[in-house]
Structure 1
């Protein structure tokens, strides 16, 4: 039996202008799937501040459709094949954030890495290069405004933290062209993530084939215990 509900992604939860943040959308569907590991495929862009329909079935599948019934995003149970890499130290991750904030930022309102986002209105997650490596990393302490009443981050916020750092890794290390987008995101969450606690994000390149870039992102506690892991496919536009 299929169940459905109408929803709207708030306007501030965007990456590219007026386009809903991919990790957030993916996390919404993953929560409806109920599977331990979920793959989310993006078929069309999801606009913010526009009505969409979330549908789910009893087999771990979920979809988002637009007002015209066009399929936008679909999710299904999956298997994650990427192997996690050890997290960098908290001090190294903090140094990466300092490096990120010292540079010029051309995008300031992205839900993931926008410096101008108010606390609780964006992740304020700022990954940068770990010197001497091909790894992007960031120290991150989620704001209470991102959490539910118990202080835990909901899946859409955790999956958001698994999105932007992978894109940054692809832009820097495999020279991904501007305008690239998340085409698929597969992830699993192994333990709860709480506001006010310290976490380490790190991302690395898995493969590149033409316009396609495959990346991995891990989210760990400050002590290095793995909380969540993802593999994402980013695709460059045919015309940058």
Structure 2
């Protein structure tokens, strides 16, 4: 990439209102970093609808800034492990998503990744519910053609997005976390192209937890269980109000 460029995240690609969807932002930065495996660390919320500056860094990564404020940094990193748990079956992922939609936890936002009112053309619909008998959350979903590129594939930044929200669901449903947690860091490894219009399973599991922070593994698979991407994310809950 050149020394810097200016980007603006459209409002429709928000996580929380006015805040850019973290998985999408991470994917945008990862695509511009000169490394095959990247970890993106978020320092501050990235706004939607406002220009921010994306610049290369000396280590082959890149950073996102708003004036003097550092928003996010993408750095070369070790690839997330690919020995993830086996994906749940399509039918079990469908059932988990339906259970989530029938009784969603409080505090759900109109997120591009997991918003309940999003359609297959306006969001990823990562409605991850618990999978009975397994320490996993999962969602079956099918990206509409409107989300794909001219090649009929889900853009890499949306593949990264498919590894984001499941981590929030894992924290809430498997570890009793509350609403309002944010993605503090996300690393991913993309394993194969992901076509739109075909069934996919996003799923996540807990790795560790300490205080307000917890770490999750996430994965994206085809309906037949073939891995498309794997990730690892750090989530942070908001500080308790005094």
Q: Which residue of 1 aligns with 2:13?
A: 13
* Matching residue of 1:73: 72
Query: Normalization by structure 2: what TM-score?
Result: 0.93
TM-score, scaled to structure 1: 0.93
Tell me the SS of whatever aligns to 1:224: coil
Deviates more, 1:155-164 or 1:100-109: 100-109
Q: Which deviations, in whole Å up to 9, do the C-alpha atoms of 1:174-214 show, x marking residues without a partner?
A: 12232211100010100011110111111100000111100
Q: 2:80, 2:231 within 8 Å by CA — same for their partners in 1?
A: no
Aligned 8 A contact 1:108 1:117 in 2:
no
Mark the CA change 1:45 to 1:172 in structure 2 (over 3 Å): closer, same or farther: same
Other-structure match for 1:165: 166
Aligned partner of 2:114 in structure 1 is 113
- Deviation readout 1:84-143 (Å, 9 max, x if unpaired): 111111111111122122224653621011122244221122111111222101112111
1:185 aligns to 2:174 (yes or no): no
Partner of 2:13, secondary structure, is: coil
- Give, in angstroms, the shift of residue 81 of structure 1: 4.5
Residue 217 of structure 2 aligns to a residue whose secondary structure is strand
CA-based RMSD:
1.7
User: How far apart are residue 232 of structure 1 and its match?
Assistant: 0.3
Contact 1:108 1:116 (C-alpha < 8 Å) held by counterparts:
no
Q: How does 1:130-149 map to 2 (within 5 A)?
A: 130-149=131-150
Q: Distance in 2 between matches of 1:126 and 1:238?
A: 25
Q: Equivalences for 1:87-102 in 2 at 5 Å?
A: 87-102=87-102
With over 3 angstroms needed to count, the CA separation of the structure-2 counterparts of 1:75 and 1:137, relative to structure 1, is same
Aligned to 1:3: 3
Query: Match for residue 127 of structure 1?
Result: 128
Task: Please identify, of 90-99 and 228-237, the stretch whose mean Cα deviation from structure 2 is larger.
Answer: 90-99
Partner of 1:62: 62
| CA offset digits 1:136-171 (Å, max 9, x no partner) | 011121111111111111121111110001111011
* Deviant stretches of 4+, over 4 Å: none
> Is the CA contact (8 Å cut-off) linking 1:127 and 1:138 kept in structure 2?
yes
Q: Deviations over 1:26-83 (max 9, x none)?
A: 00001111422110000111111111011125753011111x2311000011113543
**Residues 1:29 and 2:29 aligned together:** yes
How many equivalent residue pairs?
Answer: 239
1:50 lines up with 2:50 in the alignment: yes
The answer to which of 137-146 and 172-181 deviates more is: 172-181
Bigger mean CA deviation after superposition, 94-103 or 84-93:
94-103
Gaps of 5+ in 2: none
